[in-house]
Amino acid sequence: MPTALDGLLVVDFTRVVAGPACTQTLADFGAEVIKIENPDGGDDTRHYEHADLAGESAAFVSLNRNKRGIALDLARPEARAIARELIQKADVVVENFSAGVMKKYGLDYASVAPANPRLVYCSISAYGRQGPFASRPGFDPITQAESGFMSLNGFADGPPVRTGTPIVDFATGMSACNAILLALLARDRLGRGQHVEVALFDIAVALTGFYGMAHLMTGLNYSRQGNSPNGSPSVGVYDGSDAPFYIACANDRLYRRLVVDVLDRPDLASGEFGDRRSRTANREKLRGILAGIFASDIRDNWVTRMKAANIPVGFLRTIEEAFNSPELRERHRLNQIPHPAAGSVPNIESPLRLDLTPLVDPVAAPMLGQHTREVLRKTLGFDEDRIAKMAEAGVFGAAGSKG
């Protein structure tokens, strides 16, 4: 079956998280993504400490599926010439270098767009490419902290807490992918590409969501409320006699179903607990009552009864428990894919589903410089003699000179 992005050529200058997450989605749906890395170590995530197989980290493997990797030392004019040739053929360029780096190499949008006016060029940065903060370095947790987003995470009596995964990075990658696809649609109508930008700080501000909007409407400074938004006693974590679970009875109908049909306590559905505002005003009292009831039986029994009553409830799982759960198995989210050094690596499939234009069969993230010669031959038409001379000149780094 055809894929959604068949024939789309993407030149990927990104590294770490946000940029690679963006380009991986394009690659998953059929775009030819050529990832350009510095031959001296490559993408920083190759060396992250979470885990590794055959020298490839979990972070790198999880963010660079379905790409072809080449190594270019952009400090050398021959390497920059190769990059420019690729960009001239490309539909999309994505970069997340520090401010001024692409311009220094003559690879910024203003420099390359005249030779390829249909190019969609996406820049990902911490604070945007324009203005007084453009040169500031920034990472996910910094923007979580500065945007107010971090102040919303954690418990009221504790400090702000960053999210466990770099959620601003991932949301920025998703947003950058959306921006690229929008620009490609616009290109069909306008006949030309454009420069699009996505900044981590802007995304972090957007992630404050209705708390940010509520501040603008009321002037109040909203803060941490733990696992229960707005302090709701019928939303959050409770403990069975053996293990925790999460319930989300966010409206009167669901709450009544919980206390009447599951707990057999109709008295909790009237008076001081009769509506959402009353329950919030008396949340500590109600939370204590509910905690006492839930502690009287094991988690599985409570979850089974609540599911039978069609109440939103879930196990509070560890990563290990989640990855062995029936939900994950039935959704067919995991597989193994071949890897040239490790034999195979695990794969978490893209969460997106398109019936008529499905995902490509997954290919493992490239080894550093793995496809350099292939790309130069097949995409740019270089002959072996030209490639060999460039290798000897160090255009592909020390390792590339030996292959």
Cβ count near 77 (within 10 Å): 11
**How many angstroms separate the CA atoms of 45 and 17, rounded?**
8
DSSP state of 341: T
- Cβ-based neighbours of 157, under 8 Å, separated by 6 or more: none
- List Cα–Cα distances, 271 to 253, 262, 266, 399, in angstroms: 16, 19, 11, 75
* Catalytic-residue membership of 169: yes
Buried b (16+ CB within 10 A) or exposed e, 38-61: bbeebbebbebeeebbeebbbbbb
Name which of 234, 237, 247 is nearest 279 in CA terms: 234
User: What CA–CA distance (Å, rounded) separates 219 from 215?
Assistant: 5
Q: Hey, how many other C-beta atoms are within 10 angstroms of the C-beta on 401?
A: 15
Out of 28, 140, 169, 202, pick the active-site residue: 169
Alpha helices (H) in 209-343, listed in sequence order: 209-218, 252-256, 276-281, 283-294, 299-308, 319-323, 326-330
Q: What is the DSSP string of 110-127?
A: HHHGGG-TT-EEEEEESS
Query: Count of CB atoms within 10 A of residue 211's CB?
Result: 19
Which two tokens mark 45? 């995530």
Q: Is 275 helix (H, G, I), strand (E, B) or coil?
A: coil
- Point out the residues that are catalytic: 169
